[in-house]
């Protein structure tokens, strides 16, 4: 937009290079040009600004096809204001001298004008084709038709407009019709997808079969080679056994021959050796018997001598105790018993037994000393 600077009496306007300025004063154009900049008096001036750059307008046209179906056509028109004076006389491009903005929206009016001038060409084309053809080939055909129609439109030229280019963005039907039209194509695509899946599966099955066949062939070949290996190993083992058997047979024959020779040559030596060993064993047996007999006689004589000595000593001991009174014998017996007993429980002595024995003992002591018994018994005092 143009920039307007206000002062108390005057104002200054500076336009853009792509804008055409038309300055009116007293109903006449007093100044015009692109990118104009000048001083003016606001109270007696009127300014219009027409763009000389390319402008675009996008609109949607709703029409019917030859088979009476609703069709929407989206178009984009690129145009230019060829004659700014003529355009300013047909469309209001006035600027507000306070803000520098358009008083109205001239580009919106121009867009509606292009919409109106494009509708007859679109309607004429769609009335001759069914909806399927319109959707399939409509953008290109409508683009050419609109280019020819709008480029030669006299009304547009009278308004100072010139068509630069036109493009049909899309031609669509209602959602129901579009879905119905898309269904066969969708089904065909789905069918092709299913066929591709089936082919892929069939190819996978075929490859799997080939793999299984190769594995089976490999297993058969391995089994055949294993069978050959087993046969060869058996043959080798059989030859080894035959060789070992022949070698063992030869060894046995040689051993039998050697033993026969040894037997024949050593029969006489063996007989002599046997007789000498028998004579030696007999001599050793006689010597051992004689030695055993002599040892037995010596042992018997020794045992007899020991028994005779023990018997004589016992007789002498008994003879020594013959003159000792029974009381003394009993006392010595108790003494010997007391030396051998380590623990005594309860001993019951009655007065009759003790008194009688003590009286006899004191009586014998009073007479004289006790006789010394054989075997080394010591004398004791009467006290």
> Do 153 and 263 share a domain, yes or no?
no
Same domain, 89 and 143: yes
For 215, the token pair is 């594995």
Tell me: do 26 and 169 sit in the same domain. Answer: yes
Q: Tell whether 292 is covered by a domain.
A: no
Q: Establish if 113 belongs to a structural domain.
A: yes
Q: Average of pLDDT values for 49-77? A: 92
In terms of pLDDT, which residue wins out, 173 or 325? 173
More confident residue, 17 or 363: 17
Q: What is the pLDDT of residue 383?
A: 29
- What does the pLDDT read at residue 362? 67
**Domain boundary pick from 108, 138, 173:** 173
Q: How many domains does the chain have?
A: 3
Helix%, strand%, coil% for the chain, nearest 5: 60, 20, 20
How many CA atoms lie within 13 Å of 105's alpha carbon, on the beta-carbon side? 5
pLDDT tens digits for range 237-260: 888 888 888 888 888 888 888 888
d(CA 286, CA 292): 10
CATH number where 86 lies: 3.30.479.30
In a domain, 184, yes or no: no
Q: Decide if 293 is inside a domain.
A: no
Domain that holds residue 204: 192-271
Is 289 part of any domain? Answer: no
pLDDT of 351 > 80? The answer is no
> Do 45 and 114 fall within a single domain?
yes
pLDDT in tens, 269-292: 667 667 767 776 777 777 677 767
Whether 159 and 249 map to the same domain: the answer is no
CA–centroid distance for 89 within its chain: 82
**Are both 35 and 155 inside the same structural domain?**
yes
What is the C-alpha separation between 247 and 251, in angstroms, rounded? 6
Nearest to 22 by CA among 82, 100, 85: 85
Domain identity same for 148 and 75: yes
What is the residue-averaged pLDDT of the chain?
A: 82
Encode pLDDT of 145-175 as tens digits: 999 999 899 999 999 999 999 999 999 998 8
The answer to whether residues 222 and 117 belong to one domain is no
pLDDT, tens digit, for every residue of 173-183? 988 988 888 88
**Using CA atoms, how far apart are residues 55 and 82, in angstroms rounded to an integer?**
12
Residue-level pLDDT at 379: 38
Q: Mean per-residue pLDDT for 350-357?
A: 63
pLDDT in tens, 373-383: 444 434 333 32
Is 119 found in the same domain as 232? no
Report in angstroms the alpha-carbon separations of 254 from 243, 247, 249, 260, 264.
Answer: 17, 11, 9, 10, 15
Q: Is residue 179 part of a domain?
A: no
Question: Rounded to whole angstroms, how far apart are CA atoms 49 and 40?
Answer: 15
Distances in Å between the Cα of 177 and the Cα atoms of 70, 132, 300, 381 are 9, 9, 148, 162
Compute the distance between CA of residue 84 and CA of residue 290 in angstroms, rounded to an integer: 173
Flag whether 151 is in a domain: yes
Domain edge (last residue) among 127, 142, 173:
173
Q: In this structure, is residue 287 part of a structural domain? A: no
Pairwise pLDDT comparison (100 vs 282), residue with the higher score: 100
141 shares a domain with 17 = yes
d(CA 126, CA 67): 10
3-class DSSP assignment, residue 152 = coil
Please give the pLDDT value at position 318. 67
Q: Looking at the structure, tell me whether residues 227 and 267 fall in a common domain.
A: yes
Same domain flag for 145 and 200: no
Which one of 144, 173, 202 terminates a domain? 173
Total number of residues shown for the chain: 383
């Amino acid at each position: 937009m143009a920039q307007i600077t206000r002062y108390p009496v005057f104002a200054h306007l500076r336009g853009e290079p792509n804008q055409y300025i038309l300055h009116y004063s007293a109903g006449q154009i007093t100044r015009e040009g692109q990118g104009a900049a000048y001083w003016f008096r606001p109270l007696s001036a009127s300014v219009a600004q027409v763009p000389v750059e390319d402008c675009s307008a996008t609109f949607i046209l709703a029409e019917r096809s030859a088979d009476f179906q609703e069709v929407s056509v989206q178009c984009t028109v690129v145009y230019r204001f060829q004659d700014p004076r003529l355009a300013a006389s047909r469309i209001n491009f006035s600027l507000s001298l306070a803000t520098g903005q358009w008083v109205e929206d001239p580009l919106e009016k121009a867009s509606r004008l292009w919409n109106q001038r494009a509708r007859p060409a679109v309607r004429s084309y769609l009335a001759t084709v069914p909806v399927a053809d319109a959707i399939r080939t409509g953008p290109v055909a409508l683009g050419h038709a609109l280019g020819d129609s709008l480029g030669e439109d006299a009304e547009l030229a009278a308004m100072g407009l010139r068509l630069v280019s036109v493009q049909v963005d899309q031609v669509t039907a209602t959602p129901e019709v579009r879905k119905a039209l898309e269904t066969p194509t969708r089904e065909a695509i789905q069918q092709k997808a299913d066929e591709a899946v089936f082919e892929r599966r069939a190819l996978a099955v075929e490859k799997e079969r080939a793999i299984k066949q190769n594995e089976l062939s490999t297993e058969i070949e391995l089994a055949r080679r294993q069978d050959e290996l087993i046969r060869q190993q058996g043959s080798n083992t059989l030859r080894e056994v035959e060789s070992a058997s022949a070698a063992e047979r030869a060894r046995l024959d040689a051993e039998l021959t050697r033993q026969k020779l040894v037997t024949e040559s050593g029969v006489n030596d063996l007989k002599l050796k046997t007789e000498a060993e028998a004579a030696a064993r007999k001599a050793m047996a006689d010597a051992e018997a004689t030695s055993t007999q002599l040892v037995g006689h010596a042992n018997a004589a020794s045992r007899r001598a020991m028994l005779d000595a023990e018997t004589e000593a016992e007789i002498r001991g008994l003879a020594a105790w013959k003159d000792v009174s029974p009381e003394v014998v009993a006392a010595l017996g108790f003494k010997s018993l007391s030396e051998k007993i380590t623990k005594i429980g309860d001993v019951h002595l009655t007065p009759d037994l003790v008194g009688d024995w003590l009286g006899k003992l004191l009586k014998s002591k009073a007479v004289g000393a006790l006789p010394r018994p054989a075997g080394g018994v010591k004398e004791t005092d009467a006290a």
